[in-house]
A and B are shown apart, each in its own frame.
Chain A
Amino acid sequence: MAERKRKLHGIEPFDIVNVCILTLLMLVVLIPFYFTVVQSFMTQQEYIMNSTTLWPKDPTLGNYRDIFVASTMLRSFGNSVFYTVTGVAFSMFLTTTLAYGLSKKDYPGRALFQNMVVFTMYFGGGLIPFFLLIKQLGMIGTRWSIVIPTALSVFNMIILRNFFEQLPPDLDEAATLDGASPLRIFWQIDLPLVKPAIATLVLFYAVGRWNEWFYASLFLGDARLWPVQLELRQILWSSTSFASEVPAEVGRPSFSEGIKAAAVMVTMLPIMMVYPFLQKYFVKGVMIGAIKS
């Protein structure tokens, strides 16, 4: 009888412990976000008092006001949108065409092209020759230095190639007999068939582009072209306090730690807004990648 009851409810002590551990881990993930939110709404007075604060007594939007008044966050935000949109478009152009070409069978030079592409996953010129190349191409200081040179992820391309390879070949043959040009077959038949993979790759590329700061820091001296991550990095790491540049509101000193936290929140916002809704596509993407490679 007792045995049957346990089966009915099916809850063992392990289940309870498990839920507790996993919930605790969730808190560990969330805590840094929580305290950054708290700090972004804090005033300087409260922060320096060093009291124990789990929520600001007197929440303020002042820090958010300060980043938008004094910093060029809005401009860099716009730059990042530009880099993300044009960058993803260019990345997808290269990725789809190359993946499609490589997926074709039986053309002279196939092995050469395949090996040429895969080799770059194992060996590269490294940072300095790459930097000097961009310099020699005259791209330094231009928006193109961010959009073009890092556009192709071989890993993403191979995922897509595997998808194209699995399309039934009779499909193309039938379409060719019907008089469709190869370009039309690519655009109107084959590409729509791999739509789920395309969606995932767009997401991966977009996140990568949005998070880009490193090459921007090497290639772009002019802060007017900076993406938002580089702007944020400047706010977080600048030795001269950013807060001193903020025109003060009457009766409220600007507060550098609060501004930093607010800047982190603003930069994170786009990913935070879309991630819960798109998570399943990301997950699908990694599963596809795992199974196929």
Chain B
Amino acid sequence: MAEMQANRRTLWRRIVKNRWTYLFLLPGIAFMILFCYVPMYGLTLAFKDFKISAGILGSPWSDPIYKNFVTMIGQDAFWRAFFNTFRMGFWYIVTGFPAPILLAFLLNELRGRRYKKVLQTVYTFPNFLSWVIIGGLMTTLFSSDGFVNMIIRALGGEAYGFLTDTSLIRPMLYATNVWKGAGWSAILYLAAMAGISPELYEAAEVDGANRFHKMLYITWPGIKPTAVILLILAFGGIMNNGFDQILNMVNPVVQDAAENIDTYIYRKTFKDKPNYGFSTAMGLSKSVINFVFLLAANKIAKLLGEGGVM
């Protein structure tokens, strides 16, 4: 009893001693509780019939409790968006993951330092533009009166609707995603390459290794840990690709071909007549699956000895 009291007293003393630390934590933690944790509580909406007048707290539980999920499972459009999320996510990774590695290899082999700098500035620039702007740029280029079609016509071909072809819109998304991000992601690999000891290359040269041997047996092993961790993280975030991009590049004609869960929830909620309970049910389903993916990715990274991210 006396011991517990003593413990409590030392705990209290430690808290008082660190009072400034808590003061520093206060704004950030309060912010996170309000804007991250309160919305998590709001997920209960998935099990309610939302009434605007009653708010989240006051809205009645739905009957049966999983009603919104039944509605969700019964919708073909939901399943289409669901599977499309994984299909598109997979292709986002297949195209977006190797591109920066290849680019980094080429840049690393380039001799002129100054030219390398110019190239890097150009390659990384698009990453800092919004998808609104890139949507505008790509429309200029690929619309039916755009410049690509101008060149096609000049060469005697027929104008083609690149942005209105349901089978072409997804590849267009992957390509522009690479166009925007590859240069920036390459920097991570270039940093890893810069960290490789020059002695390794010198030793290899003495042994008669040519440039490709060195790339394959020194450079690649040097960046492999970075590549592995980025690949795992990419799979962890497979459901989170493309939302902003799709909203800015996909027009109504081809909308169904490039619909994922995020855009589907968005359109259902903010373009149609909103059913917040139903939308939240979809959002919760996504969050849970996404969480599992992230945990799995993290676990695998740890098992491979790459440290994980958590």
Contact = CB atoms under 8 A, between A and B. Distances in A.
Interface of A: 10, 12, 14-15, 18-19, 21-23, 25-26, 28-33, 35-36, 38-39, 47, 50, 52-53, 93-95, 97-98, 100-102, 104, 106-108, 113, 116-118, 120, 122-133, 136, 149-152, 157, 182-183, 186, 207, 210-214, 218, 229-230, 232-233, 236, 257, 260-261, 263-264, 267-268, 271-272, 275-276, 279, 282-283, 286-287, 290-291, 293
B151 interface: yes
B122 A151 contact: no
B283 A127 contact: yes
Main secondary structure of the interface of B (DSSP, over half): helix
A129 B42 contact: yes
A100 B24 contact: yes
A125 B145 CA distance: 43
A283 B124 contact: yes
A122 B29 contact: no
B271 to A, nearest CB: 11
Q: Report which residue of B18, B41, B110, B120 has the largest number of chain A beta carbons within 10 angstroms of its beta carbon.
A: B18
A214 B262 CA distance: 13
B31 A101 contact: no
A23 B138 CA distance: 21
A244 B87 CA distance: 41
Nearest to A236: B136
A94 B28 contact: yes
Contacts, number: 257
A133 B42 contact: yes
Contact of B122 (A30, A97, A233): A30
Interface residues of B, number: 94
A12 B211 CA distance: 10
Contact of B133 (A30, A123, A152, A232): A232
A290 B188 contact: yes
Contacts of A30: 122
A125 B137 contact: no
B222 interface: no
Contact of B295 (A120, A122, A279): A122
Contacts of A132: 42, 45, 56, 276
Main secondary structure of the interface of A (DSSP, over half): helix
B110 A18 contact: yes
A29 B183 contact: yes
A107 B191 contact: no
B84 interface: no
B292 to A, nearest CB: 10
B180 to A, nearest CB: 10
A186 B24 contact: yes
Given A128-B42, A152-B28, A264-B136, A276 B279 contact: no
Contacts of A283: 120, 124, 187
Interface in B278-310: 279-280, 283-284, 286-287, 290-291, 294-295, 309-310
A98 B128 contact: no
Contact of B40 (A100, A123, A128): A123
